[in-house]
Amino acid sequence: MSDFRHRYKVTECPGCGADLLLPNSVNVEFVATGSMPWSTPSRLGAGAEVVDTDGNIAKGLHSDTRCAACGESLSDHEVLE
């Protein structure tokens, strides 16, 4: 089990109001040493945490979560635990 989790204070985009609980409603951005940044589509779960669809959050590679509709970053709304 990984200690890497990303949970937010919102389930709707603060920029455009999109429902972030819907499939493919967020783009999760990743970065790894020696590789180009990339992103994958995902959504927020019922507890407003990013659903780790491909295991890269568990690996600690998460760099940002953005609304897929408007590109708004959710970083200012992250719950720091």
Half-sphere exposure of 79 (CA within 13 A, CB side): 12
Strands 62-67 and 38-42: unpaired
pLDDT digits (tens, 9 = 90+) for 7-45: 999 999 999 999 999 999 999 999 988 888 999 999 999
Domain housing 28: 1-74
pTM: 0.88
pLDDT at 1 (0 to 100): 39
Task: Specify if 35 maps to a domain.
Answer: yes
Confidence tier at 69 by pLDDT (50, 70, 90):
very high
pLDDT above 70: percentage of residues in the chain:
95
Task: Specify if 44 maps to a domain.
Answer: yes
Q: CA-CA distance, 14 to 27, in Å (whole number)? A: 15
Beta strands of the chain (E only): which ranges?
7-8, 26-30, 38-42, 62-67, 78-79
Q: How many domains does the chain have?
A: 1
